[in-house]
A and B are shown apart, each in its own frame.
Chain A
């Protein structure tokens, strides 16, 4: 079963003079963990708040679990949980009370799972929310969201305040969620996190999606780094299409190559005799930086 959990087309939203979303497209399939990647201010939070029916769209379409996020908010919210990016809680309530309250309003939570989550995230539910650190407030919202039996999780930079240990715990849970077939939309500016847990990624910049696909798809669009030591100085590499940033130092060679031109380059290298070869697939970071670098250079050129 491969249905669409979230589909957004041509979404526009502005706050006064600021254009937060400028024709955003986003498609999330049921059962996938989808990363929404972009720096601060790219429009990630605005997208999630529109999907929650907290904001009205100026133009464009948004569908969530087959309904209209604005009109059908109450019905849809039975089927999803949300973790805000900057969690603020009621200072006078304890963490346990907030978890129970949110869970019950969503239609009940599993006490065994609640206890397990509290233990795994190492959270004391008796503390008043005003005494929690940012990371602990985040944990309260995460436990409340993960303990509910819902189809869709909307997570806005959920690990921003967590320490590395808790970040690892969070990733384990997301893997489990994937096993049970839940859909997750995870916004983040932490590339390693998206790379570790997401099936597909949408990169957003200035309120638009600039790239979307599986990690493999995205990597395909970019270059592999090659470092090689050869038996003899190579020949004719300059003429090869798709080879960039070539540096030859005697028999040593560094270059970057488009995924489609990899085969041709390797033939040339083996012809010269390969002593050692290191090839690095492009990281999400490079993809990301490429998009943001290109904007900067475009702006400089203007």
Chain B
């Protein structure tokens, strides 16, 4: 009798217990697989934040050698809501405080993106490609892949944080502050990894999962930007909603608030629990949001390589247009707030003069914003152009080229969509920024005057984006295995920009970046010749890529 009542319950309990642990079975093997597949990328992104921190520390030591110069610089930053919104506030006018301020946002972005891509790559990308099923047929549990990705990113983030701390201590900064700064960014990075883990559960497509996680990172950054930039307008509390904001609120080198780390821990535990619950509720390969049925026949227009390219590219483009509109609206508003504050602060005129001669405050703010958002738009340009190679590697290109579509027509279709798409992304940015700025600045010259100027300033980045598209196309045609080098080039351009600010690189090196040749129209700097040179370079690179592609094998390796 007791067997009948106790037995099954005990068996069930036992099964559940082993079911819970068995859902992680194989994590160890998967961790080794990740380490093998990412043996090059992992060390790079673990070391990069530390190298950046050491570079900034040594530069600031030279630029601001005395306590007084540091005080002056910190006061300048504090009086500029634009800088505060972009990079956060300076918490202490010391060397450590300045380094923490300048390094924090780039550090968070580098580690955040690295975590995001690593987690999606080893969860949803594998699942979409069907590799997960291959692994799933061996002894791997339901949560094994996600657990392995999170464990690897955790260890990598902690290592990166300790390297940052070690580098800063080696540069002569106090140990507690260095450690707080490093671990704060480690924790932010791992939070983004957990966000990506949730995003990986939601859709069937890895691209969409990256989009969701990327949008989340963008949103968290914006919450921090509004929170930090809007302290005086009562919006400061928004920063507390964002882990990206917490990284600054740890106050490294300014009376460290270690308890902030507990906030991270709580958020990460919640996110991991959420992703685990979501993962339990869905089938392998499926998303939580089920794929809907599509049409049984194609719309009449879907009949050419160009129509196909537009169809494949439009989702990503619409996402970027929405994001550009959000950033544009925000920056137009912030520019107006900042401009009015600057006008009320004569002490800032010296700072303004340093940046842009006798320029209007709003124009200086826009120039700073666009210098950041132009390269961000290049992420769209490169990602969309890489679709050429993705189609080839996935062998969908074979299907298209087996029809009477020529190689030239196929490649040109995608390039046309990306070239025009980049223009639309920049135009959206310029239009939304110009509209909010024009309408909100009551005392200014109004929308009719501001809108065309701001729009033109944003569009000035288009030739630089075309150069990066063309470079990607040239790599695709001539060195298809190395097509991802275009990402490295973009990172290189960003590092050059940083190097310019820190006065580390020569003009000759700066000239290598297409963004150096973009005229700052609002400040009346730059030349048409630079733009013509960029367009010419883009045309040449595109031609080289297309000729190369016509001559080479279509291959997936």
Q: Residue A127 contacts which of B293, B297, B299, B304 (CB distance < 8 angstroms)?
A: B293
* Chain B window 401-413, contacts with chain A (Cβ cutoff 8 Å), 1 for yes, 0 for no: 1111110000000
Q: In the complex the two chains form, is B553's CB within 8 Å of A55's CB?
A: yes
> In the complex, which residues 284-302 of chain B have their Cβ closer than 8 Å to any Cβ of chain A?
291-299, 302
| B305 cross-chain contacts in A, Cβ below 8 A | 105
| Contact A91 to B298, CB < 8 A, known contacts A73-B406, A102-B403 | no
Report which A residues bind B (CB closer than 8 A): 15, 49, 52-56, 73-75, 77-78, 80-82, 84, 86-94, 96-102, 104-107, 125-128, 130-131, 141, 154
A106 to B552 Cα, complex, angstroms: 23
Q: Within the complex, which residue of B311, B315, B396, B555 is in contact with A89, where a contact is CB–CB below 8 Å?
A: B396
Q: List 9 contacting pairs A-B, 8 Å CB cutoff, sorted by A.
A: A49-B554, A52-B401, A55-B555, A73-B406, A77-B403, A105-B304, A105-B405, A127-B294, A128-B291
* Shortest distance between the CB of B131 and any CB in chain A (Å): 14
Cβ contacts under 8 Å, B403 to chain A: 77, 102, 105-106
Closest to B557 in A: A15
The answer to the question of B303 belonging to the interface, with a C-beta cut-off of 8 Å to chain A, is: yes
| Interface residue tally for chain B (C-beta within 8 Å) | 39
Contact partner, A101, options B204, B298, B394, Cβ 8 Å:
B298
Known contacts A15-B555, A96-B298, then 17 further A-B pairs from the complex at CB < 8 Å, ordered by chain A residue: A15-B557, A49-B554, A55-B554, A55-B555, A73-B401, A74-B406, A77-B402, A88-B394, A90-B396, A92-B312, A99-B298, A102-B403, A105-B304, A106-B404, A127-B293, A130-B128, A130-B205
B294 to A, closest residue via Cβ: A94
Which of B299, B312, B401, B557 has the most chain A CB atoms inside 10 A of its CB? B401
B399 within 8 A of A: yes
Task: Establish whether residues A96 and B205, one from each chain, have CB atoms under 8 Å apart when the complex forms.
Answer: no
Closest to B291 in A: A128
The complex places the Cα of A18 from the Cα of B482 at a distance, in Å, of 21
Main secondary structure of the interface of A (DSSP, over half): mixed
Task: Pick the residue among B293, B312, B400 that contacts A128 (CB under 8 A).
Answer: B293
Identify the interface centre among A80, A81, A101: most chain B CB within 10 Å of its CB: A101
Say yes or no: A94 contacts B398, CB within 8 Å. no
Shortest beta-carbon distance from A97 to chain B in Å:
4
By a CB distance below 8 angstroms, the chain A residues around B405 are: 74, 77, 105
A-B contact count (CB 8 A): 119
A92 to B396, CA, bound (A): 13
CA distance A92 to B304 in the complex (A): 17
Bound: A274/B102 CA distance, A: 100
B positions within 8 Å CB-CB of A: 128, 204-205, 291-299, 302-305, 307-308, 311-312, 315, 394-396, 398-406, 551-555, 557
Task: Give A22 Cβ to nearest chain B Cβ, in Å.
Answer: 17
Inter-chain contacts of A54 with B (CB < 8 A)? 398, 401-402, 553-554
What is the CA–CA distance of A55 and B554 in the complex, to the nearest angstrom?
6
Contact B401 A97 (CB under 8 A): no
Beta-carbon contact of B302 and A101 below 8 Å: yes
Q: In the complex, which residues of chain B have a beta carbon less than 8 angstroms from the beta carbon of A96?
A: 294-298
Q: A74-B404, A104-B303, A126-B294 are in contact. Are A84 and B395 (CB under 8 A)?
A: yes
> Across the interface, which residues of A come within 8 angstroms of B299, CB to CB?
97
**Contacting residues, chain A, for B292 (C-beta < 8 A):** 128
Known: A54-B553, A130-B291. A88 touches B396 (CB 8 A): yes
Task: Please state if A126 and B406 are interface contacts (CB–CB under 8 Å).
Answer: no
Q: Evaluate contact between A92 and B205: CB separation under 8 angstroms.
A: yes
Contact A92 B297 (CB under 8 A): no
CA of A78 to CA of B406, assembled, Å? 11
| A-chain residues with CB within 8 Å of residue B295 when the two chains form the complex | 94, 96-97, 126
Q: Which of A49, A73, A98, A125 makes the CB contact (< 8 A) with B398?
A: A49
Residues in chain B near residue A94, CB distance under 8 A: 293-296
- Least distance between B302 CB and chain A CB atoms (Å): 5
Contacts of A154 in B (CB 8 A): 402
| In the bound complex, CA of A32 to CA of B554 (Å) | 29
Instruction: Flag if B303 contacts A105 (CB, 8 Å).
Output: yes
B406 to chain A, nearest CB (A): 5
- Closest chain B residue to A104, Cβ basis: B303
Query: Please, which residues of chain A bring their CB within 8 A of the CB of B298?
Result: 96-101, 104
- Bound CA span A99–B295, Å: 12
Which of A82, A105, A141 is most buried by chain B, counting CB atoms within 10 A of its CB? A105
Q: How far does the alpha carbon of A97 sit from the alpha carbon of B300 in the complex, in Å?
A: 10
Q: Roughly how many angstroms separate A171 CA and B398 CA in the complex, as a whole number?
A: 24
A82 to B401, CA, bound (A): 10
Chain B contacts for A74, CB-based, 8 A: 404-406
B534 to chain A, nearest CB (A): 33
Task: State which of A56, A93, A99 has its C-beta within 8 Å of the C-beta of B311.
Answer: A93
**Distance (whole angstroms) from the CB of A100 to the closest CB of chain B:** 4
Q: A56-B553, A96-B298, A130-B205 are contacts. A105–B404 as well, Cβ < 8 Å?
A: yes
